[in-house]
Amino acid sequence: MSLTRPDLDALPAYVPGRTVPGAIKLASNEVPYGPLPGVVEAVTAAVSGVHRYPDMGVTELRGRIAERLGVEAERIATGCGSVALFEHLFRVTCMPGDEAVYAWRSFEAYPIIGATTAATSVRVPNTAEHGHDLEAMAAAITDRTRLVIVCNPNNPTGTAVRRAELDAFLDKVPGNVLVALDEAYREFVTDDDVPDGLVAYGDRPNVVVLRTLSKAWGLAGLRVGYLIGAPEVVAAVRKVITPFSTSLPAQAAALAALNAEDEMRRRVDLVVAERSRVVEAVRKVYPDVPETQANFFWLPLGDRSAEFAAACEQAGVIVRAFQGDGVRVTIGTPEENDAFLSVIL
Ligand code: PMP
C-alpha cells in the first residue's frame, strides 16, 4: 500500500533546466547578467532580520507593484514565483470535475498542477505554427470550465497572440470563467500588437494577469511572482497562499529590483537584440523556428530533440529538450549564444 496518492505514480515530475558545472546554461529562460544593482545589498541587509517572520501582507512590495502599474494594492497578490500563484488559481477556481482549459504545448507546470488539484485539464493543441489556437480553445469551453489560461508569449514556443484575436477570444469566454493571462515574458515583447494584458483587459473582472520577477528582473533564485486581478479574486487567492511564502529577503530584493527598472530595460534590450541575431542565424539551418516574443526560441525537431540537446551538451551548452517535440533555447550573452551557434552552424 502506498502512503501517497496512487495516481501520482503516473504524473511526470517538473523537469528543471539542467545545471552542469562549467557548462553554458541556456535552459531555464533566465537573464544572464546577474542580479540587478542594489539587489545583493538589499538581501544582505534583510538577512539580519530573518529570525522574524516576514510581513505576511507583503504590504510594501504589493504597494510598490500597484503604484508602478497604476492599480490599487488590493488588486495585487504575490507568491513564491508565479508558478505558485497558478496553483492557487486552480485551487480557488476548480471544484472536483471542473475544467481548466489551456494550450498544449505550453508551460509544463499547468498539467502538473491540474493533476493534483480538483481540476480536470483540457489541453488544446497548438496550431501548426506552434501558437495558441484561440478558436479551438474557445470551442473547448463547456459549462464545467472554470479557468482558462493564455500563455502570452507562450513557453516553450515563444509565440504570442495578437490584440484582435485575444479581444475576439475574450468576448467569447463566459463572464463566470476566469481567464489567466500568463505574462511571465511580457518584458521581452517588442511587437506592439501583442497586448499588455493589464492595459488592454485590466478592467474585465474575469481576467487576471500573472507576471514574475524571475526573468527580466533577474530574481529567479528568490521566487517572487505576482498576480493582478479583481479584488474578490485576489482576496480568494490570498486566502490559500502558503503563509509567509514571499520571504523576507525576497521582499527586500524585489523592492530593490523594481528600483532598477532602467537597468532591467537595458538588459532586456540586449537580450532582444541577441534574439534577432540568433534566430536569424538559426533559421538558415532550421527554417521552421517560429517567431518569438520571449527570451528564448523553439526548435521543432520532433524525434530528434533529445539527440540535439545531447549534442549541445557534449559541446558544453545546456538547452532544454521536450522529448519527441522540440528544443527550447534561451538567449544568453553574445558569447554564450555564439557558443550555441558554433554547435549548430
Ligand atoms: N509562467 C511561465 C510561462 C513560465 O515559463 C514560468 C517559469 N518557467 C513561470 C510562469 C513561473 O515562473 P516563476 O515561478 O519563477 O515566477
- Cα dihedral 263, 265, 267, 272, rounded to 10, equals -170
Residue 156 CA, closest ligand 1 atom number: 5
**Could you tell me the strand order of the sheet in which 99-104 lies?**
76-79, 225-228, 207-212, 178-182, 145-151, 99-104, 120-125
Q: Where are the domains of the chain?
A: 6-35+261-344, 39-258
Q: How far is the CA of 227 from the centre of ligand 1 (A)?
A: 12
Average pLDDT over residues 285-306: 98
pLDDT mean across residues, the chain? 97
170: pLDDT confidence band, cut at 50, 70 and 90? very high
30, 182, 298: which to mutate for ligand 1, most atoms within 8 A of CB? 182
Nearest CA to ligand 1 atom 5: 155
Nearest CA to ligand 1 atom 2: 184
105, 155, 295: which to mutate for ligand 1, most atoms within 8 A of CB? 155
Residue 150, strand partner residues: 181
Q: How far is the CA of 213 from the centre of ligand 1 (A)?
A: 9
How is residue 16 written as a grid cell?
Answer: 528543471
25: pLDDT confidence band, cut at 50, 70 and 90? very high
Q: What percent of the chain has pLDDT over 90?
A: 93
The pLDDT value recorded for residue 162 is 98
77: pLDDT confidence band, cut at 50, 70 and 90? very high
| Fold of the CATH domain 6-35+261-344 | Aspartate Aminotransferase, domain 1 (3.90.1150)
15, 30, 82: which to mutate for ligand 1, most atoms within 8 A of CB? 82
**pLDDT at residue 12 tops 90:** no
C-alpha atoms less than 13 angstroms from C-alpha of 175 in its C-beta half-sphere: 4
The pLDDT value recorded for residue 10 is 84
Q: How far is the CA of 307 from the centre of ligand 1 (A)?
A: 26
**pLDDT at residue 303 tops 90:** yes
pLDDT digits (tens, 9 = 90+) for 177-225: 999 999 999 999 999 999 999 999 999 999 999 999 999 999 999 999 9
Nearest to 35 by CA among 264, 306, 265, 322: 264
Residue 215 CA, closest ligand 1 atom number: 15
**pLDDT at residue 132 tops 90:** yes
78, 83, 150: which to mutate for ligand 1, most atoms within 8 A of CB? 83
* Residue 142 exposed, middle or buried by CB count within 10 Å (0-12, 13-18, 19+): exposed
Q: Yes or no: say if 187 and 228 are a contact pair by the CB < 8 Å rule.
A: no
Residue 155 CA, closest ligand 1 atom number: 3
Average pLDDT over residues 93-102: 97
pTM equals 0.97
Nearest CA to ligand 1 atom 13: 81
102: pLDDT confidence band, cut at 50, 70 and 90? very high
At the top level of CATH, the class of 39-258 is alpha beta
Nearest CA to ligand 1 atom 1: 184
Q: How far is the CA of 27 from the centre of ligand 1 (A)?
A: 13
**pLDDT at residue 7 tops 90:** no
Residue 154 CA, closest ligand 1 atom number: 3
Q: How far is the CA of 3 from the centre of ligand 1 (A)?
A: 30
pLDDT digits (tens, 9 = 90+) for 251-264: 999 999 999 999 99
